[in-house]
Homo-oligomer: A and B are copies of this chain.
Amino acid sequence: MPSGLLLDLYQLTMAQTYLAEGMDGMATFSLFARNLPPNRGYLVAAGLEDALTYLENFRFTGEDLDFLDSTNLFTAPLLERFDQLKFTGRVRALAEGTVCFADEPLLEVTAPILEAQLVETMLINEIQLQTLIATKAARCVDAGAGRRLVDFALRRAHGGEAGMKVARASFIGGFEATSNVRASQTYGIPAAGTMAHSFIEAFPDELSAFRAYARAYPDRAVLLVDTYDSIEGARNAGIVGRELAANGHQLAGIRLDSGDFADLSRKVRMLLDEAGLSATTVFASGGLDEYEIADLVAGGAPIDGFGVGTRMGVSADAPHLDLAYKLVSYDGTPTMKLSEGKATWPGAKQVWRHRTNGDAVRSIEDWIGLADESAPEGAVPLLAEVMKNGERTSPVEPLAALQSRRKEEIAALPEACRRMRAPVPPVLRPTPALWELRREIAAKLRPVVEAHR
């Protein structure tokens, strides 16, 4: 779908004004989180792949131009410029799966100002959603401490497209599978699922329903036990499990979907073990998130895997990220804004990271500085060129590689960053050159401001 008009009106009226004023200089915009959401000690960068696809496909169709013409807001020269317009800029970005923090650019765009401004809204949109979800998913995985996590979010994601992006981002975050079949088809993520309460109810009784499902899937049945009563359901599952075993099959698992999981999981585990079904797993779903998973794991609940839907899929405790896309340089001159509580760092930037991974101590030190500075000693740069002249300069990375990167990145974080509640992110260190540039520009703008503060 050509995405030209999927933007905010002001991007078009600003474009009109830039054109009228003959302003066609190169602009650099920096996309970063102004702050971390509550209870987040890090972000997992994600969404770059879709953001680059958006930039590659950015076009106005003839129908779009006709619509714009009908608004009487735009001149013929602007519509001529829009016809055949492509994004021709350069993009530097963090690789997906990289851990990052507030004020660190996830992405910087350098392009003629008209182009760079037109792509603002959808770049924020693409990076926000998957970064939010990869972060939330990574926290669930961290809380799960090795247990299997499955994405169940499609039904309560914000639209079908969001459901697809949630499946992708949660896989980067460390989920092993998704219930979303189109996501499995599109991204190669393993598909997983069990059965619904309606399935049970459509049969005369629960045991008949379990038996029917086991006939269809003798080696991969996960039976939902809470339609009428979880304990009785587990007993019925035990009966079917023994019947399967007698025919050389194995009941894969049971699913709890309501009630007190800590208590129920112990009881159903015992019932399954007594039925000789020690290889049959216990899976839990229903209103779960990282906080609940951490509590269940800490309490030793015998649960082998979790289906996590709603709260992960909308990042329920932090459903938005305060992402900004700010002009940091225009026509060779660094710029910044001074708005109360929203001041920005000027100039195209780089972020460098230095890690210490001792046996007992893991530390991370990040610097932010100007793009053309040399790296602080022992630190590696995080932003790399991924697009030039509107074309990708790096191959598409397999999703599994992004998942592995996230895993390594999080394993190397200090414990304080990873806490579920009140985590402490590392302090970001601006380089002396960046401080100095900010001081210079602020000083030029300051006389005006000081009069009112």
Contact = CB atoms under 8 A, between A and B. Distances in A.
Contacts of A306: none
B6 A125 contact: no
A128 interface: yes
Contacts of A18: 202
Contact of A124 (B73, B156, B321): B156
A29 B229 CA distance: 21
A9 B194 CA distance: 8
A192 interface: yes
Contacts of A445: 228
A416 interface: no
Interface stretch (A174-182, A243-251, A292-300, A376-384): A174-182
A262 B16 CA distance: 33
Interface stretch (A93-101, A308-316, A361-369): A308-316
Contacts of A321: 156
B314 A6 contact: no
A8 interface: yes
A23 B121 contact: no
A191 B74 CA distance: 14
A56 B160 CA distance: 16
A82 to B, nearest CB: 12
A228 B449 contact: yes
A13 B198 contact: no
B320 A212 contact: no
B258 A199 contact: no
A56 to B, nearest CB: 15
Contacts of A121: 154-155
Contacts of A199: 10, 14, 17, 117
Contacts of A157: 125, 158
A67 B185 contact: yes
A439 interface: no
Contact of A228 (B10, B11, B338): B338
Contacts of A67: 185
Nearest to A125: B155
Contact of A337 (B228, B232, B319): B228
Contacts of A156: 124-125, 128, 320-321, 323
Interface string A327-369: 1001100011111111000000000000000000000000000
Interface string A216-240: 1100000000111111100000000
Given A229-B452, A448-B228, A448-B229, A337 B9 contact: no
Contact of A229 (B25, B192, B232, B449): B449
Interface residues of A, number: 109
A157 B314 CA distance: 11
Given A20-B216, A181-B9, A320 B327 contact: no
A149 interface: no
Contacts of A311: 320
21 contacts: A5-B185, A8-B152, A9-B179, A9-B192, A10-B193, A14-B199, A17-B217, A120-B198, A156-B321, A161-B161, A198-B325, A228-B337, A228-B338, A228-B448, A229-B338, A229-B453, A232-B448, A259-B339, A310-B320, A314-B319, A314-B320
Given A113-B202, A228-B449, A232-B448, 15 more contacts: A3-B160, A6-B180, A6-B181, A8-B152, A10-B196, A20-B216, A120-B198, A158-B162, A159-B159, A159-B165, A162-B162, A197-B339, A229-B452, A232-B452, A258-B342
Interface of A: 3, 5-14, 16-18, 20-21, 23, 25, 27, 29, 64, 67-68, 71, 73, 113, 117, 120-122, 124-125, 128-129, 152, 154-165, 179-182, 184-185, 191-202, 212-213, 215-217, 226-232, 257-259, 310-311, 313-316, 319-321, 323, 325-327, 330-331, 335-342, 445, 448-449, 451-453
